[in-house]
Structure 1
Amino acid sequence: MFNTFKVSIGSMLFIQLFCCTVVMVIGQQFKLKQLNDRQAIHNQWASQPLTDTTYDYIVVGGGTGGCVVACRLSQRGNNVLMIEAGGAQHAVLNDMPGAYDKQLKVGKDQFWQYYTTPQAAWGGRTYNEIHGKVLGGDSSVNAMVFGRGSSVYYDSIEKNTGARGWSFKDVLPYFMKIENNTDPTADSRFHGRQGPIKVQAPKSTAPILQKYLDTLEEMGLANKDPDNYNNDDAAFPQGMWYNGVRSSTANGYIEFGGLCPKLKVQANAWVYKLLIHNDTNGEPRVSGVQFEKNNKTIKVNATKEVIVSAGNYMSAHLLMLSGIGPRDHLIDINVSPIWADLQIGTSYQNRPAINLEYAITDQSLVGELPMNTDSQIEDCVVNGKGPMCDAPRILVLYNSKINYPKEFVDIINFVTLSPPVAGSNVSVGHAFTFVSKTRAMGTIRLRSNNYRDLPYIDPNVLGHPEDKTRMMDAIAKFFYHIEETSFKKYAAIPEKPQSSECEYCKSGPQWKCHELHECLFRTLGITEFHPLGVIPFGGPNRIEAVLDERLRVKGVRGLRVADASILPVGYTFTPNTGPAYVVMMVAEKVADMITEDNKH
């Protein structure tokens, strides 16, 4: 099947991932060919030789944003090199929407393994926060959530940061340019149909999820455009996949989109240094990058610009190691020379979250869930349907008791199901719950000047009193939905608290049990996996802005950043959605900016 599976269909790795029943499917020639062909394309893009040492543009990071900006620049006739630390996508684990949960558990080589510092709100625990280390980045490993967030966020950017050109009316054309919405009822004023990222609604939904959605509608949460994050809402949202194939940016733009066949790619290559010198005007200028591949150090040059799209943590890591960042911190870490004293990593936010469980009292309402069986794989590969081809979930948007303005919701739930674990025949419901509007700011700092030491990540969880109020309100609302609404006919709170360190209140409903809510978050709380604001942009008067409104690094020529790290937070709203689609918009927009700025 794949390069690592060529020897035989008895490959140990394949057996470990999908068990013996799946091997029977792969052994049938027709299914083997379809997966083989797809994996061959993945591998081809990840195994290109390096043919030049000088390019017009170098894009650091072949993830959600990097694939977009690199492809668009190449499409316009430029000689572009995109460098990605990870390798090829996997034709099953990455491409099949239903394999999402399995991929998180066994595809560890496709993830950066970051750890937070100990958090007081978690009782001193740390947390392993993973992010995509593969072509396509997080868009190849995430939950495929399709959402641009509230228009209020974009309209607030110019008002609060002074950066022009980022209002909702300015960015909407870029969102639509990305999107190929396959839903015939999608409003053409807000949704595109010709873009490289295919989008669809789930083809099938579990009856228990429909019951939950019905309950939410009874409570007054509207079931409308699931990409409208401006008001209380509940719906089966669309996802970034189509006919059983994930719409990662690597798939949609590069490997199967056919938009940029001349793009050069170096995979499994870790960029650890920007090459900077003083130009003829005495100003710092980036002229290339240095990376490691196969234990060799390689330098490549860019005649026009270097665009860093390595994600929040690695973009900040690279800039600071290269002498761009807070001067005092870089001196402490023995980074030299220091080219620009900029406040990288000081306005970082990563929103608090918790994954809560509920018991399903009527298991007949669960329906068929993805189990990676031979018949499910076959149904998805051959027919483009079935649980391996789908990822149904309910998106719930609502306001906490302290939220204002109400049109910018501050609590988001994703309600899903998980199949029975080994030795059980009982499926469980989940509500991944997070606060989408936070006040606390965290920090990102280098551990050392050794590029292999991943950075210190301090999200400062619940570091502002409002954040705790919102989080506790979110947990209380989850229990309220289970205990006090019509949904209690089909579901119940677990027999025992999810955490063995917590206890249910002996009297009264658990949605009023504040001690339980605090204990659950202390023992089970996590981040939402979506860091933002590490390298923010802003107008000329924002001293905390690292980038100008065209995403150029201040004080360093020939260098831009284009990923989720650039999104302003703290003094404005945060985009109340998963940022993948937002990052694609940023990349499309910056590709146009780069083209305009380099015309002469």
Structure 2
Amino acid sequence: MTQQQYDYIVVGAGTAGCLLANRLSADPANRVLLIEAGGRDNYHWIHIPVGYLYCIDNPRTDWRFRTEPDQGLNGRSLLYPRGKTLGGCSSINGMLYMRGQARDYDGWADLTGDDAWRWENCLADFMKHEDHHRLDDGGDADAPHRDFHGHGGEWRVEKQRLSWQVLDDFATAAVEAGIPRTRDFNRGDNEGVDYFEVNQRAGWRWNTAKAFLRGVEKRDNLTLWHSTQVRGLEFATGEEDEPRCRGVKVERAGESVTATAHREVILSAGAIGSPHLLQLSGVGPADLLAEHDIPVVADLPGVGENLQDHLQIRSVYRLKGAKTLNTLANSLVGKAKIGLEYALKRSGPMSMAPSQLCAFTRSSEAYAHPNIEYHVQPLSLEAFGQPLHDFSAITASVCNLNPTSRGTVRIKSRDPRQAPAISPHYLSTPEDRQVAADSLRVTRRIAEQPAFAKYQPEEFKPGAQYQSDDDLARLAGDIGTTIFHPVGTAKMGRDDDPMAVVDSRLRVRGVRGLRVVDASIMPTITSGNTNSPTLMIAEKAAAWILASP
């Protein structure tokens, strides 16, 4: 077994890990090792926006997890994609730039007792790495924009390079239904309807490997090990009151290697990978570890608990006289036109994010803030990976932004290559079932507005015959699916919270020299897409790590 020595070891070259490696290695005195289980992001479908269709459920780019059969989904098991390549989930996700709501971060500050997490203190971290298209010309035409967005950072944000009349009309119908238009979802209150902004550059996906590793990967003090499986964490005991994480054990090119960290090991393996690795290494619920004969390093019952995700409920409307991707892409001529437009202009359907039009609103008057989000697409299909329907249609997916259901991630064996048991427990509370039923009614209200009436919309899924709360909640279980936002499985919290895994500065409780920096530390899920909030977390954590003695 060979050994390597570094100051910092970052496990996972995904959304958080790429930024951390960049920031920590900016000082040439810091020796940094970045470890990724997947390969390089040199697969062409990673970079063509519509290529997510070929990256999800592909062993080259995806861990290909599946959930346990879920009672809330009427016994169904879901594909649960997680990125397995440089850039992690930012290489296979929807490319949608969304921060959430100010109240999310204020809530984190209240839960942790640390004002560093308040919205006004997170905003600077979002802006630090941002490169927003509206400021390309100096932003003089939109002076208020400079108060909320950055320019010149690594994380590019652009307008989508497409438009669809059917989506424009759906947006107008949303306004008629009482949802205001907005120019910016990212100023702390995201209520409104507009097209998503995307993490692309000139029609290409902009993942975190491009943003934060390209150009710095050749630093003498930064070492990248890709295609390297971490088998467990290494601890030193007896020297201090608490065990210290001193490194990682990996399998690299068929060889067993131990890498040691003089200062810190940082887990950025995501909301599935980080708790899985902690549990394999003896950090987690003592009773679960005992089931698998794993010696307890730190009894932390919250590791793998508190799993939260956004469940999208996909309503499909069959239309008449509408141009949609169903009609455009179901012919050889149409496909040729799509390919040619992208080749010549980097625009059109091949530049599409998975969702194009967005809306945030309330599922009922009981909510003082937007609690549901729409992802609207000019297409429809039975399920991900299946062919488009042979009729014109749109899909209006709606998700509960603040689910009260909580799931788990738990090891199945001591073998690090065996996937953990992922149990989201969707729709397991009365509140979530009510929001599901009410949100489907909001979708119907939008579709009934005059701006959309010219298409004679017919509710294909779930079906207009279903009207009661019980019917709609059950149908939500039949057609709901993950929108790929798992968080919370190593949550931060106060010292008196027995389920908190890390403190407010993301240090693992009861263990020295170990932090978790990824979406798993969120105590509650953000009210929107989770990729860019994860970058904010990493930006904040990098400063804390570098400032540590």
* Structure 1 range deviating more: 452-461 or 426-435: 426-435
- Looking at structure 1, the residues matched to 36 and 241 of structure 2 have their Cα atoms a distance apart, in angstroms, of 31
Amino acid at match of 1:385: S
The alpha-carbon distance between structure 1 residues 515 and 81, as it changes in their structure 2 partners (threshold 3 A), is same
Deviation at 1:514, TM superposition (A): 4.5
Please state if 1:98 is matched with 2:50: yes
The alpha-carbon distance between structure 1 residues 261 and 470, as it changes in their structure 2 partners (threshold 3 A), is farther
Alignment of 1:35-50 (within 5 A): none
Which residue in the other structure is 1:533 paired with?
488
**Helix, strand or coil for the counterpart of 1:590?**
helix
* Structure 1 range deviating more: 264-273 or 538-547: 538-547
Question: Is contact 2:300–2:499 with CA below 8 Å preserved after alignment?
Answer: no
Alignment of 1:459-478 (within 5 A): 459-478=424-443
Amino acid at match of 2:395: H
Alignment of 1:436-515 (within 5 A): 436-494=401-459, 496-497=460-461, 504-505=464-465, 512=467, 514=469
- Looking at structure 1, the residues matched to 456 and 160 of structure 2 have their Cα atoms a distance apart, in angstroms, of 23
**Helix, strand or coil for the counterpart of 2:9?**
strand
Which residue in the other structure is 2:293 paired with?
334
- Looking at structure 1, the residues matched to 471 and 265 of structure 2 have their Cα atoms a distance apart, in angstroms, of 50
Which residue in the other structure is 2:164 paired with?
206
Alignment of 1:292-307 (within 5 A): 292-307=251-266
Deviation at 1:209, TM superposition (A): 0.6
Deviation at 1:148, TM superposition (A): 0.6
Aligned partner (choices 581, 586, 593) of residue 537 of structure 2: 586
- Looking at structure 2, the residues matched to 256 and 387 of structure 1 have their Cα atoms a distance apart, in angstroms, of 30
**Helix, strand or coil for the counterpart of 1:183?**
helix
Deviation at 1:125, TM superposition (A): 1.6
Deviation at 1:306, TM superposition (A): 0.5
Which residue in the other structure is 2:62 paired with?
111
Please state if 1:216 is matched with 2:174: yes
Which residue in the other structure is 2:361 paired with?
398
Aligned partner (choices 58, 66, 85) of residue 37 of structure 2: 85
Question: Is contact 1:397–1:411 with CA below 8 Å preserved after alignment?
Answer: yes
Which residue in the other structure is 2:71 paired with?
120
Question: Is contact 1:325–1:341 with CA below 8 Å preserved after alignment?
Answer: yes
Alignment of 1:250-289 (within 5 A): 250-255=209-214, 262-278=221-237, 280-289=239-248
Aligned partner (choices 46, 57, 71) of residue 22 of structure 2: 71
Amino acid at match of 1:233: G
Which residue in the other structure is 1:3 paired with?
none
TM-score normalized with structure 2 length: 0.90
- Looking at structure 1, the residues matched to 323 and 480 of structure 2 have their Cα atoms a distance apart, in angstroms, of 31
The alpha-carbon distance between structure 1 residues 177 and 381, as it changes in their structure 2 partners (threshold 3 A), is farther
Amino acid at match of 1:343: G
Question: Is contact 2:15–2:531 with CA below 8 Å preserved after alignment?
Answer: yes
Please state if 1:435 is matched with 2:400: yes
**Helix, strand or coil for the counterpart of 1:432?**
strand
- Looking at structure 2, the residues matched to 195 and 285 of structure 1 have their Cα atoms a distance apart, in angstroms, of 35
Which residue in the other structure is 2:202 paired with?
243
- Looking at structure 1, the residues matched to 387 and 75 of structure 2 have their Cα atoms a distance apart, in angstroms, of 31
* Structure 1 range deviating more: 338-347 or 450-459: 338-347
Q: Deviations over 1:158-209 (max 9, x none)?
A: 2233233111111111100121001244711000011101111113211111
TM-score normalized with structure 1 length: 0.83
The alpha-carbon distance between structure 1 residues 172 and 338, as it changes in their structure 2 partners (threshold 3 A), is same
Which residue in the other structure is 2:505 paired with?
550
* Structure 1 range deviating more: 136-145 or 285-294: 285-294
C-alpha RMSD over aligned residues: 2.7
- Looking at structure 2, the residues matched to 374 and 522 of structure 1 have their Cα atoms a distance apart, in angstroms, of 37
- Looking at structure 1, the residues matched to 366 and 253 of structure 2 have their Cα atoms a distance apart, in angstroms, of 51
Question: Is contact 2:10–2:21 with CA below 8 Å preserved after alignment?
Answer: yes
* Structure 1 range deviating more: 196-205 or 346-355: 346-355
Deviation at 1:440, TM superposition (A): 1.9
- Count of aligned pairs: 532
- Looking at structure 2, the residues matched to 164 and 238 of structure 1 have their Cα atoms a distance apart, in angstroms, of 29
Please state if 1:161 is matched with 2:117: no
Question: Is contact 1:226–1:236 with CA below 8 Å preserved after alignment?
Answer: no
Question: Is contact 2:15–2:534 with CA below 8 Å preserved after alignment?
Answer: yes
Deviation at 1:118, TM superposition (A): 1.8
- Looking at structure 2, the residues matched to 522 and 223 of structure 1 have their Cα atoms a distance apart, in angstroms, of 31
Q: Deviations over 1:314-359 (max 9, x none)?
A: 1000001101011111112211143343421222212332222122
Question: Is contact 2:300–2:501 with CA below 8 Å preserved after alignment?
Answer: no
Deviation at 1:519, TM superposition (A): 4.1
**Helix, strand or coil for the counterpart of 1:431?**
strand
Question: Is contact 1:285–1:556 with CA below 8 Å preserved after alignment?
Answer: yes
The alpha-carbon distance between structure 1 residues 98 and 114, as it changes in their structure 2 partners (threshold 3 A), is closer
Please state if 1:189 is matched with 2:141: no
Question: Is contact 2:176–2:449 with CA below 8 Å preserved after alignment?
Answer: no
Deviation at 1:220, TM superposition (A): 2.8
Deviation at 1:101, TM superposition (A): 2.9
- Looking at structure 2, the residues matched to 576 and 393 of structure 1 have their Cα atoms a distance apart, in angstroms, of 18
Deviation at 1:256, TM superposition (A): 5.5
Deviation at 1:374, TM superposition (A): 6.2
- Looking at structure 1, the residues matched to 122 and 191 of structure 2 have their Cα atoms a distance apart, in angstroms, of 23
**Helix, strand or coil for the counterpart of 2:377?**
strand
Amino acid at match of 1:72: R
Deviation at 1:563, TM superposition (A): 0.3
Q: Deviations over 1:490-532 (max 9, x none)?
A: 25124x546xxxx652xxxx6x455652342232222332111
**Helix, strand or coil for the counterpart of 1:235?**
strand
Which residue in the other structure is 1:388 paired with?
350
The alpha-carbon distance between structure 1 residues 423 and 220, as it changes in their structure 2 partners (threshold 3 A), is closer
**Helix, strand or coil for the counterpart of 1:363?**
coil
Which residue in the other structure is 1:360 paired with?
319
Which residue in the other structure is 1:411 paired with?
372
Question: Is contact 1:183–1:201 with CA below 8 Å preserved after alignment?
Answer: no
The alpha-carbon distance between structure 1 residues 259 and 265, as it changes in their structure 2 partners (threshold 3 A), is closer
Question: Is contact 1:402–1:470 with CA below 8 Å preserved after alignment?
Answer: no
Which residue in the other structure is 2:139 paired with?
none
The alpha-carbon distance between structure 1 residues 419 and 332, as it changes in their structure 2 partners (threshold 3 A), is closer
- Looking at structure 2, the residues matched to 179 and 266 of structure 1 have their Cα atoms a distance apart, in angstroms, of 27
Deviation at 1:143, TM superposition (A): 0.3
Question: Is contact 1:95–1:244 with CA below 8 Å preserved after alignment?
Answer: no
- Looking at structure 2, the residues matched to 521 and 575 of structure 1 have their Cα atoms a distance apart, in angstroms, of 22
Q: Which runs of 5+ in 2 are unaligned?
A: 136-141
Seq. identity, %: 30
Amino acid at match of 1:202: Q
Q: Which runs of 5+ in 1 are unaligned?
A: 1-50
Amino acid at match of 1:167: R
Question: Is contact 2:217–2:224 with CA below 8 Å preserved after alignment?
Answer: no
Amino acid at match of 2:116: G
Deviation at 1:141, TM superposition (A): 0.5
The alpha-carbon distance between structure 1 residues 164 and 577, as it changes in their structure 2 partners (threshold 3 A), is same
* Structure 1 range deviating more: 136-145 or 425-434: 425-434
**Helix, strand or coil for the counterpart of 1:111?**
coil
Question: Is contact 1:414–1:432 with CA below 8 Å preserved after alignment?
Answer: yes
Question: Is contact 1:55–1:301 with CA below 8 Å preserved after alignment?
Answer: yes
Question: Is contact 2:328–2:335 with CA below 8 Å preserved after alignment?
Answer: no
Deviation at 1:401, TM superposition (A): 1.6
**Helix, strand or coil for the counterpart of 1:174?**
helix
Question: Is contact 1:504–1:516 with CA below 8 Å preserved after alignment?
Answer: no
